[in-house]
């Protein structure tokens, strides 16, 4: 089953090209795949580095936003650009390990449910104690209120069917609520343990304050949506 790997990146000039190389190594030359990097309006040399990388990575495609639109919009742009019915996603900061991709893809292929989303679960976070604490609290509150069967919704490593994803309601920050949105649409969630690495370069774009307040508003909106389920069924991705 061919797969489109979508990487969202914002000001990741030193991380994104090595990450593309790791994806290529993890998936191998024999498999059918592509990698799409969505440059979300970076102001550093990310775009230039990606242009250079395309000379050595023929399966690399680049989508560039003129302005920073946020991770959810970047993910949506990447999925819309994907050529294949199966999509894998990861963050451009290099903290997700592409070596975990084959296991998540295999977990999807083992399922009979085309509306499945496979979520990476970071068992050992390589972040500051404040980020780990805030994520633990956020995951606990979200799980209690939404019952979304997900232990780590903030992990960028995910595998899902393209058509199901595109049928979901889309809004800013929706990437944090994908398990709940999948369940609302009649889908299921599977959690797979994955590795987590320290950030090698650059700085995180997320802090406690710019996630907490918008997260509370988004949570209220998703609770409203969850009470108005909309079921969708697609054939299993096979091309």
Q: Looking at residue 143, what is its pLDDT?
A: 66
Q: Domain segments of the chain: what residues?
A: 3-226
Contact yes or no for 2/239 (Cβ under 8 A): yes
pLDDT tens-place string over residues 116-144: 999 999 887 765 555 665 666 666 666 66
Q: Say if strands 116-122 and 188-194 run parallel, antiparallel, or are unpaired.
A: parallel
Helix, strand and coil content of the chain, in percent to the nearest 5, comes to 40, 20, 40
Q: Looking at residue 202, what is its pLDDT?
A: 64
Q: Is the CATH number 1.10.150.120 carried by domain 3-226?
A: no
Q: Looking at residue 163, what is its pLDDT?
A: 95
Q: pLDDT exceeding 70 applies to what percent of the chain?
A: 78
Measured distance CA(66)–CA(134) in Å, rounded? 31
- Global pTM reads 0.83
Residues of the chain with pLDDT under 50: none
Q: Looking at residue 154, what is its pLDDT?
A: 83
Measured distance CA(152)–CA(119) in Å, rounded? 8
β-partners of residue 134 are none
Contact yes or no for 112/122 (Cβ under 8 A): no
């Amino acid at each position: 089953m061919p797969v489109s790997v979508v990487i969202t990146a914002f000001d990741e000039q030193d991380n994104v090209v090595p990450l593309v190389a790791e994806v290529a190594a993890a998936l191998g030359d024999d498999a059918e795949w592509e990698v799409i990097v969505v440059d979300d309006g970076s102001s550093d040399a990310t775009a230039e580095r990606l242009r250079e990388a395309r000379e050595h990575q023929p399966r690399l495609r680049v989508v560039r936003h003129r302005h920073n639109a946020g991770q959810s919009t970047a993910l949506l742009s990447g999925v819309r650009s994907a050529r294949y019915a199966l999509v894998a996603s990861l963050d451009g900061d290099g903290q997700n390990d592409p070596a975990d991709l084959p296991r998540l893809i295999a977990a999807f292929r083992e399922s009979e449910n085309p509306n499945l989303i496979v979520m990476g679960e970071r068992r050992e976070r390589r972040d500051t104690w404040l980020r780990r604490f805030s994520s633990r609290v956020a995951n606990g509150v979200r799980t209690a209120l939404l019952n979304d069967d997900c232990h780590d919704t903030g992990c960028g490593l995910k595998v899902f069917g393209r058509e199901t994803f595109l049928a979901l309601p889309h809004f800013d920050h929706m990437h944090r609520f994908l398990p709940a949105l999948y369940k609302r649409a009649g889908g299921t969630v599977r959690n797979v343990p994955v590795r987590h690495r320290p950030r090698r370069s650059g700085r995180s774009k997320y802090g406690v304050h710019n996630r907490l307040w918008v997260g509370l508003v988004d949570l209220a909106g998703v609770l409203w949506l969850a009470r108005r389920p909309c079921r969708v069924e697609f054939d299993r991705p096979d091309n």
